[in-house]
Amino acid sequence: MPEGDTVHQAAGRLHQALAGQELTVSDLRVPRLATVDLTGRTVLEVVARGKHLLTRLEGGLTLHSHLRMDGSWRIFAPGERWRGGPGHQIRAVLGTASRTAVGYRLPVLELLRTPAEDEAVGHLGPDLLGPDWSPAEALARLAAAPEREVGEAVLDQRNLAGIGNVFKSELCFLLRVTPWLPVGELPDPERLTALAARLLEANRHRPRRTTTGRPDRPLYVYGRAGRPCLRCGTPVRTAQQGDPTRERPTYWCPGCQTGPAPAA
């Protein structure tokens, strides 16, 4: 599941494959970009901003993409068979003489003027893996709504950018609070931002995300519903949190974590 760590990894792979090279292939397979031709433009850089990817091009253009739940960018050598899904799921193809980047299942793909990137990412809070990371600013944004549930508050990219469903559940477990605890009742809110930054930084370059440091059991609670908690042995529970129209399973240990939670 793409979160801040994997999006920054994707930006790094795209930058290494495309930056400094002229596009020889440009195929944007969304209706409003179907006639856009970027061939001949040099890719200047690819950067991540929270969960967003910004591919900056010569001539003051930026291709903005977002992976959401299951989008991905794959890099291929000339002649290599494309793998990542069926052809009808391809939304973008950017190719140079030496590499081709193929974007699968991209729910967001738009072309912006580079000076206008804030139209797409200006609402974001401090990026946990970015040069703008500011624990004080993130804390101030979280504290502005003390009644809000911690799990919902950390998922809100306007507060701090980069946390998704996996890190939400793992972060709350490590803080020993349920995701339904109000932000204003956190015993040590500074620890939340410090731990969030440490978790994402630790996974910035890892091919497989982990919060436990154990390759056999990489996560404490996420995806472990009904299985024993790695710390106390209590069965891990799961429930939906927030917007019922979006699939956001939340995992927690009722033995280790204190605070409100849905009834069994």
Question: How far is the C-alpha of 57 from the C-alpha of 38, rounded, in Å?
Answer: 9
* Structure-block tokens of residue 195: 């731990």
Question: How far is the C-alpha of 70 from the C-alpha of 65, rounded, in Å?
Answer: 13
Active-site amino acid positions = 2-3, 51, 248
List 26's β-bridge partners, or say none: 94
Tokens 């930054």 correspond to 197
DSSP 61-129: EEEEEE-TTT-EEEEE-TTPPP-SS-GGGEEEEEE-SS-EEEEES-SEEEEEEGGGTHHHHTT---BTT
Q: Which of 124, 119, 120, 149 is nearest to 134 (CA)?
A: 124
Say how many Å lie between the first and final Cα of the chain, rounded: 27
Any alpha helices (H) in the chain, and if so which ranges?
Answer: 4-18, 118-121, 135-143, 150-155, 165-175, 189-202
**Gyration radius (Cα) of the chain, Å:** 20
Are the beta carbons of 41 and 22 closer than 8 angstroms?
yes
* Structure-block tokens of residue 86: 């069926």
- Return the sign of the alpha-carbon dihedral for residues 119, 124, 126, 127: negative
